[in-house]
Amino acid sequence: MSSATETTTTEPSAHILIPLHKLKKSPKNARKMPHSPATIEAYAASIAAKGILQNLVVEPECDDAGSPTGFYLVTIGEGRRQAQLLRLKRKEIKKTEPIPCVVNVRSDAFEISLDENVTREAMHPADQFEAFRTLVEERGMGVEDIAARFGLTAHTVRQRLRLGAVSPRLMEAYRNEELTLEQLMAFTVCEDHEKQEAIFARLGSWQRDASSIRRVLTETNVRATDRRARLIGINAYVEAGGTILRDLFTEDGGGYFENATLLDQLVEEKLTAIAVDCQQNEGWAWYLISIDFPHAHGLRRVYPKDVPLSEEDEAAQYAARTEYDNLYAEYEEWDEVPDDITARLQELEDTINHYADKRQAYTPADISRSGLIVSLGSDGQARIERGFQRPEDVVIEEQPDTPERTEAATGTPPAPEDVDDGDSSPAAALSDALIRDLTAHRTLALRLALGEQPSLACRALTHALALSTFWRSASGRSCLDIRPVSTDLGPLADGLEASPAAEALMARHTAWAARMPQEPEDLWDIIAAMDNDTVLTLLAHCVSLTVDAVKYPHCRATGKQIAADQLATALSLDMAEHWKPTTRSYFGRVTKAHIVEAVSEAAGAGAAARITGLKKQAMADEAEQLVTGTGWLPPLLRPVPAADRSTDNEAEPDAQAA
């Protein structure tokens, strides 16, 4: 149809072709809410591919005198007119494009417009989903082709194709209203019809919410956001023969890795490759790989020592720092720093840090008799920790009184010991009784003087704690009778050693350990030279390692728990940042009554009622989903108001003895 005769007709009902520019929107159209842009886009695509499949219904426009104006008012088909106007705007057609119309002057225009929108019934979505699948399987159409012909996005077409590919049993349940569209969408995360039908039969009608369906269908898979998946990456996993499940209806974070065994194998291979590469390039004696860092390794650890930079490196670092300072000062007041300047500042910062790292290095002797541990961090990156020594790595000729640097204070320090240096000081010629007498007076004077200088007392305390924290056998090297005890928490709670909190504590300890001198005798001078804030920060770290708020079976240490509550309150501790209620961490280890109570508190009585009849494992799994993101904590981990803290007479055993 390339042209049309602009003939005005007043016949009661006539089929004619009318140029597009002669059509107007009828004021009698019952639809007041305009079509959405997406709908107009879909109409335009359909018309471009297949033409106008249904004629527009129009009536002649008349002026005030009742004479025809030559234009026509669209009673039915305004959406199609708008679609053609969109095509005209895109220069796909001309304004004279002939539009097939039916001129209806017999019926009431408003009534037939209303009838058009009321008495029609849209195709059932299930029929639509299956029809789209037919276009692919029987007509050979591609996703992009279908999208273009129906005015849809490619993603929408993929969604409908996925829905059309679910099990026929589930599609029938959807038609019979046994499943909602949202539930049907959840089933598409798995393409195995047998598995879909098995889960449908396994879940009662009260359990078929979308989140439960997705969880059960993916319970043996690994999310793409998992640290193991992030280390390997989708491409490497797929190349190794792995398959990915994708959820087209939710933000799935990259999908699910179906083969967890293959993924673990790839993780071990990659960690091993990293460890071997590091060992060969740096010369370490051995390596150990572990997906979770083995905090309770019991190994001695040595740290890098300060080394001077070469003149060239000193000059390069000075130049980088100077340029960084100048650029930072120049753009400090700018609200928006140019991208190239931001990139340059980052480059300079990386250069400065590179040379800072070169100022510390392991000695060749330490490298040759030490090893490294490669594990997988919570961020999905390989974590390389160096300088560990097994018992057989320690040199026998080492002086017995040389203190050993420790990884952390992970146990009770050795009992205090007197260090016999075989000195030839003036005290050596005095009697034991006199020596005791004189040093007792000195001790008393030190106590008096130290108590009057809080700042110096803080440094002395930090010195004493740091000695015991960073050296194994330095307990006799401080005149303060203070010995910290740090209980190894690793064996006490499943998964504790791989938690972000454990990694953060390890990183903090390692950073401080690297700043310690090689010999404990040099520690006082280093602490004396620190500013007050640094001393307090080191003290806080050493003190933090002594915290023990673990409640053991049959232990009535009420005073310790009260103190722990008070400390948590003072620190504004929010355990929701460090612990999450999961099947593994909580719900699988408590009674069904506890599970129902937790869900009721976190998600409401209605949610609790829905899981009441489930078996224990299913109830625990469902509770994990319902509670996730609510911030719920068991009473033992919640902040305790001061008024609720018990002050009963169950005192500590040592307090009773006192």
Identify the structural domains of the chain with CATH numbers, from first to last.
13-118 (3.90.1530.10), 275-393 (no CATH), 409-417+451-548 (no CATH), 558-657 (no CATH)
Q: Which helix (H) or strand (E) holds 18?
A: strand 13-19
Q: How many helices (H) and strands (E) does the chain have?
A: 26, 14
Strands 98-104, 222-223: pairing is unpaired
The one-letter amino acid code at 446 reads: L
Per-residue pLDDT, 569: 83
- Kindly list the averaged pLDDT for each block of 10 residues, start to end, along the chain of length 658: 45 79 87 82 87 88 90 90 93 93 76 59 76 84 83 84 89 89 88 87 75 82 88 93 84 81 94 95 94 78 84 91 90 86 91 85 90 89 90 62 45 40 56 71 69 78 83 68 76 71 83 83 89 89 83 66 80 84 86 91 89 84 88 85 51 37
Range 68-101 burial, b when 16+ CB lie within 10 A, else e: eeeebbbbbbbbbbbbbbbbbeeeebeeebbbbb
Q: Are 80 and 32 in contact (CB under 8 A)?
A: no
Q: Quote the DSSP letter at residue 309.
A: P
The one-letter amino acid code at 301 reads: R
Per-residue pLDDT, 649: 40
d(C-alpha 322, C-alpha 328), whole Å? 10
Which phi and psi angles does 33 have, rounded to 5°?
Answer: -75, 120
Instruction: Tell me which residue of 13, 14, 311, 470 sits closest to 5, measured CA to CA.
Output: 14
Q: Are 176 and 168 in contact (CB under 8 A)?
A: no
| Mutual angle of helices 616-627 and 592-603, in 10-degree steps | 20
> What is the layout of strands, in order, in the sheet containing 13-19?
13-19, 98-104, 56-62, 68-76, 23-25
Strands 256-257, 222-223: pairing is antiparallel
Per-residue pLDDT, 416: 40
- Residues linked to residue 597 through DSSP beta bridges, in sequence order: none
